[in-house]
Structure 1
Amino acid sequence: MPWPRAKRKKRLLALTAALALAGTGLGVPALTAGAAAAPDTSAACDAPDARIYQVPASVPSDPGSVIACRATALPHVPGNVPMRAWKVQYSSKDNAGKPVAVSGTVAVPDSRWTGRGSRPVVAFNPGTLGLGPQCAFSKQLAGAFQDEYEGENIAALLKAGYAVAATDGAGYLDGQTHPYVSGADAGHALLDIVRSASAIPGSGIDPAAKVGLWGYSEGGAASLWAAQLAASYAPELDIVGDASGGVPGDLKVVAKSLNGSPFAGFLVDAVLGLSSSHPRMPFEELMNEQGKETLKKARSHCLLGTISTLAGQRIEDNTKDGLSLEQLYALKGTDGRTWGQVVDEQKLGAGIGRAGSGATYEIGFPVLQYRGALEEVVPIETEDATRKAYCEADITTRWKVYPGEHLTTDQLAKDDTVKWLGDRFEGKPEFGNCLLP
């Protein structure tokens, strides 16, 4: 049963209200010191809820190790799908290769899997939720914020019989900042929750199960980064396809469009996220008093608050010297890199190629990309350019444009995406449609 129409309308009305405001201008027990070993997961998942979000004293060096887990209910996954679900804290690696702990949710439908092989797993990355610690996707699914996320995509996957491994993304543990739009951080976190899912007691997930990747908006960038990193970072995973929608492929193009716009809060989140994931770059010292207040708001709000309270913000108004984006890109960090280089490193579709091509990022499975015809948040020029880059790299790519704007396109694509992933799990051929204009 789909999410009630009244609740969907309530979400859209809430976003409309936020945009209207915008228009006015308005702890974990310590692990053994030294080389951390993976915890014993033979016992039941009964860690206190707070432990899932506490920073551990040390993190296992093996990505995908379960650090803590807890059985949970998911009241904001609609349709009353019978399932078992867990909150999980697991090990991953940041963009510099340092072990980090990440939180997320794993859910498995109670229905018996009747398809070929073992039950497939979909690694899911949500779209932008906000940087506040209360915004973590696992907290929202468990009922903390009824209006922040509908959960329809998760429900659709569970109804199709697939297990779901949904990462919060790094940086949602106590006292941390989410490394928003940092490609490697996002890709690692998404791949590693798949690794951890089979280690959760009672999940019944086969480590050799077929895996699909899916995300939209921020999640679309994350899932596409996971696709690009999979061959080198998680070669043991049997990934059969990636679905990525609303992808902000070139952050410089996105930043130029967002600066001073009704959706400027996303640019603030991006600047804050990249500074947290790249601490050698100059940042806090560049902010004036308005900038400090802007960052404070960004750190505390979820999606609607981010849009409404940070609308119209301009980078130039938040820095001591009125620095433009281009001037910021020229600034160097202590490692000699410029901000422009750091931002360019997040660009999707660069250095990609088919399996065996010798490219930096080899992709050996098909990719689905999509966007809305009325897209108003992510410039369509960068979404189209990412698709073009994949086609030119001879990666099997299917492309679709839906008659929606940024928010509604996610739901318009839901059923098609679940079916497309199902076709990949069944081994059906995909030839892409790169020859279409």
Structure 2
Amino acid sequence: MRIRTMFATAVLGAATAAPAVLAGPQAAAAPAPAGCTATDAEIYAAPAAVTGSPGDLLACREAKLTNIPGDVPMKAWKVRYVSTDAKGARIAVTGTVAIPTAAWTKGGSRPTVAFNPGTLGSGPQCAFSKQLAGEYVDMYEGGNLQLFLHAGYAVAATDGVGYLDGQVHTYMVGANAGHALLDIVRTSRRIPGGTLAADGKVGISGYSEGGAASLWGAQLAASYAPELNVVGAAAGGVPGDLRLTAKQLNGSLFAGFLADALVGLNAAYPEMPFTELMNEQGARAIKDVRANCLYGTLAVFLGARVENFSKDKLSLDQIYALKGPGGVTWGEIVDRQKLGVDIGRPGSGAKYTIGFPVFQYRGWLEEIIPHETEDATRAAYCAAGITTTWKTTYPTEHLSTDWGAAGDVTSFLGDRFEGKPVQGDC
């Protein structure tokens, strides 16, 4: 008997029901805030020259997060803040900060969960901060945030890079994701009227795309944000090796994720050959990625193969071999996003050092991300001596694992906030 996953069912339904959502007009750049009185237009304004330090608050406004269930009393803000892209340039990024109104009574300062959502789509209309506030609903993680807030933790949830007006999300670009995730924690402590202290402990969390971002945040924390007291990271459904993941996605029910990744990599590395390679179908595909959010993108690209979008019918391997300025190939850029490379404990001399425990997980019925890459990422962390807890016994497929593991993620981070020891299971 053929099992149809929750994701597949949603995609097939969206193929006939999901309309394209077009990005709105560009807005003027926002000034630095004296208070949280910015308009939505100022929060999501088209990018201009960005100065300041990573984590600086550029604009904020109070928000009601109608898509977090449970009526947890909280104060929340949409924020626009300074971050750093993969090439070292200052950029503006958006996100959400939420702080429970109940007093923190467990000792020390209130901890913060740095959160990156799973895939939402690549156009600016898909931003997590907009969806949490009910402006458009194509997301599925409000309940996960509710668990963190109910436990008393603040949440600093980045949208990720590329959700300003006129932009496209730089999907699966590791440095962009890790920087944006760490910087929103810095930003959360600079909100006028906010109550978060600089010494609050930080836990990192994300699933799927968010899981990759979580591990990039973990790998970059010591070098990029050493002042943050990061005590643990949880990451599930992680596409740690984009080559393996792309091979499985190409021509599958979930080829939309591959389309997001190709367009996202082009957004981050526009100097590389891409748009000039496209045929008419490829040019339309780029517009489709920008126009749709999660389920719309999956519906549009159902069963699509990358070979059909370029003039020369280029395969993935042929695309990887293409060279840009200085002889850099697409394959080299894709390999830069691989997780678990040159990692180690503090003092190891590795490029990326991690001195806190990590929880990694996947569903037993995982059907989108190859098991080989998730298992290999965990193995790389274990080989590097990083305290790693690994769980694969959830009786769930890709999407439902996000919910099925949410309680374990909350408990894992809660134990780290309380300073409880963990041995890992490598």
TM-score class normalised by the smaller sequence: over 0.9
> Which of residues 379, 400, 406 in structure 2 aligns to 1:408?
400
Matched, 1:423 2:415: yes
Conserved in 2, the CA contact under 8 Å of 1:377 and 1:406? yes
Contact 1:88 1:103 in 2 (8 A): yes
What TM-score results when the alignment is normalised by the length of structure 2? 0.94
Contact persistence 1:249–1:386 (CA under 8 A): yes
Q: Which residue of 2 aligns with 1:141?
A: 132
Return the alpha-carbon distance in structure 1 between the equivalents of residues 141 and 268 of structure 2: 29
User: Which amino acid letter does the alignment assign opposite residue 339 of structure 1?
Assistant: W
Report the alpha carbon displacement of residue 49 of structure 1 after superposing the two structures with TM: 1.4
In structure 2, the residue corresponding to 1:335 is in which secondary structure? helix
How many angstroms does 1:29 deviate by?
Answer: 4.8
Instruction: Report if aligned partners of 1:78, 1:150 keep a CA contact under 8 Å in 2.
Output: no
Q: Relative to structure 1, is the Cα distance of residues 404 and 379 closer, same or farther in structure 2, using a 3 angstrom cutoff?
A: same
Query: Is 1:396 the counterpart of 2:387 in the alignment?
Result: yes
Instruction: Give the conservation status (yes or no) of the 8 Å contact 2:7–2:399.
Output: no
C-alpha displacement of 1:56 = 4.6
User: Once the two structures are aligned, what percentage of the paired residues are identical?
Assistant: 62
- 1:163 corresponding residue in structure 2: 154
| 1:94-144: CA deviation from partner (whole Å, max 9, x where unpaired) | 000000000000000011101120000000000000012111000000002
1:431 Cα shift? 0.9
AA in 1 matched with 2:343: I
Of 249, 252, 266, 2:243 maps to 252
Does the 8 A contact of 2:74 with 2:98 survive in 1?
yes
Q: Does 1:190 align with 2:181?
A: yes
Does the 8 Å CA contact 1:241/1:367 hold for their aligned counterparts? Answer: yes
- Give aligned pairs, total: 411
DSSP 3-state at the match of 2:114: strand
1:347-401 deviations in whole A, cap 9, x for unaligned?
Answer: 0000000011110101111100000110011011100000000000110000001
Query: Which 10-residue stretch deviates more, 232-241 or 12-21?
Result: 12-21
Shift of 1:168: 0.2
Task: Tell me how far 1:412 sits from its aligned partner.
Answer: 0.4
How far did 1:147 drift?
4.8
* 8 Å contact from structure 1 (residues 22, 312) kept in 2: no
Distance 2:62 2:15 in 1: 39
Q: Are 1:279 and 2:254 matched, yes or no?
A: no
Contact 1:280 1:335 in 2 (8 A): no
Question: How big is each residue's C-alpha offset from its partner over 1:397-429, in whole Å with a ceiling of 9 and x where there is no partner?
Answer: 000011100000000000111011000000001
1:266 aligns with 257
SS in 2 for 1:387: helix
Corresponding residue SS for 1:193 = helix
1:359 alignment partner, one of 323, 329, 350: 350
The letter of the residue matching 1:418 is: T
Q: Which amino acid is the alignment partner of residue 425 of structure 1?
A: F
CA contact (8 A) 1:223 1:242 kept: yes
Q: Gaps (5+ residues) in structure 1? A: 1-11, 32-38
Partner of 1:7: none
Tell me what 1:350 maps to.
341
Deviation at 1:150, TM superposition (A): 4.5
**Contact residue 138 and residue 295 of structure 2 kept, 8 A:** no
Equivalent runs, 1:317-328 vs 2, <5 Å: 317-328=308-319
- Superposed, 1:100-111 pairs within 5 Å as 100-111=91-102
Structure 2, unaligned runs of 5 or more = 17-26
Give the Cα–Cα distance (whole angstroms) in 2 for the partners of residues 272 and 143 of structure 1: 26
After TM superposition, give the deviation of residue 62 of structure 1 in Å: 0.4
Structure 1 equivalent of residue 23 of structure 2 = none
What letter is aligned with 1:417? V
**Are residues 62 and 79 of structure 1, via their aligned partners in 2, closer, same or farther at CA, if it must alter by over 3 Å?**
same
Q: Which residue of 2 aligns with 1:3?
A: none
Paired position in structure 2 for 1:368: 359
User: What RMSD in Å do the two structures reach over aligned CA positions?
Assistant: 1.5
Q: Which residue of 1 aligns with 2:24?
A: none
Partner of 2:19: none
Rate the CA distance shift 1:263–1:44 in 2: closer, same or farther, 3 A. Answer: same
How much has 1:280 moved relative to structure 2? 1.8
- For the Cα contact (< 8 Å) 1:22–1:262, is it kept in 2? no
In the alignment, residue 126 of structure 2 is paired with which amino acid? C
Q: Distance in 1 between matches of 2:308 and 2:242?
A: 20
